[in-house]
A and B are shown apart, each in its own frame.
Chain A
Amino acid sequence: MNEIQVRDLLFEIFPPESDSDWGDVLRRAKRPSPSLRRLTLLVAVVLFAVLAVGSALALSGRLGNLFHGTPVNDLTPRERFLMSEFDMNGKVELIARRKGLAFYVVRRKDGRLCYSIGDVRTHLTPAQREGRFRFGETDCPLGFPSRALPVLNHSYFTYRPGDREARMVGVRGFAANAVARIGVIGRATRSSSRCRSRETSTARASGDSWARGESSPLMTRGRRSGCSAPRSVAARRRSFRAAAAAGSRTRPRRRSLRPSPREGRLRRPSRWSCRAEPPTESGS
């Protein structure tokens, strides 16, 4: 087969045609190229994924989890045992110390975080060191820190004889970085600022806790479960006047609105104080 035969063969396969359309080429050139379209789509998908997943993670509190601190490496065998009993096995970090309180974060092996407040004790004897358990009230909330749950309230309460409800003694807990101020809504007897936040304010009351963000005036407001707030002064006065008007013989005992010396001594929180249930009617 010579060259002429091959050429004839090829021209027989594809006879020459001249239906060229340069205008069509120019029109196609003006359209974005398929690779550019694919790239744009890819970038859009990635951007969407980053924003959506990022927002979801931020809302779920995982991205907003910025609590980091010094690793605690001197856990005693007893502490390790008790932590395993409380399902808190993991890496412990000391994130802050405030006024005799130590704030810990425990990174559990399943990825969940626990937040704990304990006391700072130094100069312990070997026996004391061996028998100590430095973690007090501990919480492993799912959605903290997040916009829905910016504050983890570990405030502590106490009861006095005759009290019908728990009485808040001190405010403490954990706050997300976005939280600017912490406070307690209402009026009450005693307050203290023990919450960890960028800027804490002195709580002036007991009852509902609130957290204010940097951008919004009020992020959240909620009462800690299991610990009800004492009645307000106005409610107490209303109750007293109603009883007086009814001529009741058993007038309610008028209580001072100022903290008693005993309350003043209760600045130091008792461990697990917040776990205690308020006394019932019959028990009070």
Chain B
Amino acid sequence: MAEIESLYRERFPDFVAVAASVVGERESAREVVQDAFASVVRSHHDFRREAPLEAWVWRAVINAARKKRRNYAREAQAHETAVAMNGSLPHREQGVEPASLVAVLPERQRLVLFLRYYADLDYRRIAQILGVRTGTVSASLHAAHNTLRQALSEVDK
């Protein structure tokens, strides 16, 4: 329990940012993190320590964020946030924001990007969290870099 609490206090901004990268909204992301940690606290007796506790908690937060996003999409298919996350690349004339650049990325690339550069996790840990191979993490990160580079070059034109 103390381990969970220290992880929460130490990593709270990272959890919120990664959750926000999925949900698309900071306030909802904070709620998601609180709920995810509450669920982790409730079920921490079931944790079998087959993987590091941190990976388990990260997975709980990401799953909660994905669930929230699905609920959003279900409640309002035309939700602006959802559209922004899946929308086309915005032009400079429309007022390009950094969030819009990241929003064009597929969810896995976005997650990998945030887990790598925001939460500062290594490839192995990211692979554990997302349940993919390390090579997949590397490929996703590479693809995200390429997409961002391409988006920025188009914006610069």
Binding site for B on A (CB under 8 A): 1, 3, 6-7, 9-14, 16-22, 24-26, 28-29, 31, 33
Contact = CB atoms under 8 A, between A and B. Distances in A.
Interface in B16-41: 16-17, 20-21, 26, 30, 34-35, 37-39, 41
A10 B8 contact: no
Contacts of A10: 17, 102, 113-114, 117-118
A18 B12 contact: yes
Q: Top 5 closest A-B pairs, CB basis?
A: A28-B38, A20-B12, A29-B41, A16-B13, A14-B17
A2 to B, nearest CB: 9
Interface string B32-75: 00110111011000000000000000000000000000000000
B9 A14 contact: no
B101 interface: yes
A31 B35 CA distance: 11
B98 A6 contact: no
Contact of A16 (B17, B37, B99, B148): B17
Given A9-B98, A18-B13, A25 B145 contact: no
Contacts of B37: 25, 28-29
B99 to A, nearest CB: 5
A33 B39 contact: yes
A24 to B, nearest CB: 6
A85 to B, nearest CB: 58
B8 A6 contact: no
The SS class assigned to the B binding surface is helix
> Which of the listed residues A6, A12, A18 has the most CB atoms from chain B within 10 Å of its own CB?
A6
A115 to B, nearest CB: 53
A7 B117 contact: yes
Contacts of A17: 13, 16
Interface residues of B, number: 30
A16 B8 CA distance: 14
Contacts of B21: 14
A9 B42 CA distance: 35
B145 A1 contact: yes
Nearest to A21: B34
B34 A7 contact: no
Contact of A3 (B9, B38, B101, B117): B117
B149 interface: yes
Given A13-B98, A25-B34, A20 B9 contact: yes
Contacts of B12: 18, 20
Given A9-B98, A10-B117, A13-B99, 9 more contacts: A1-B149, A3-B117, A6-B148, A9-B102, A10-B17, A13-B98, A19-B30, A22-B8, A25-B37
B80 interface: no
9 contacts: A6-B145, A7-B118, A14-B17, A17-B16, A25-B8, A25-B41, A28-B34, A28-B37, A29-B38
Contacts of B17: 10, 13-14, 16
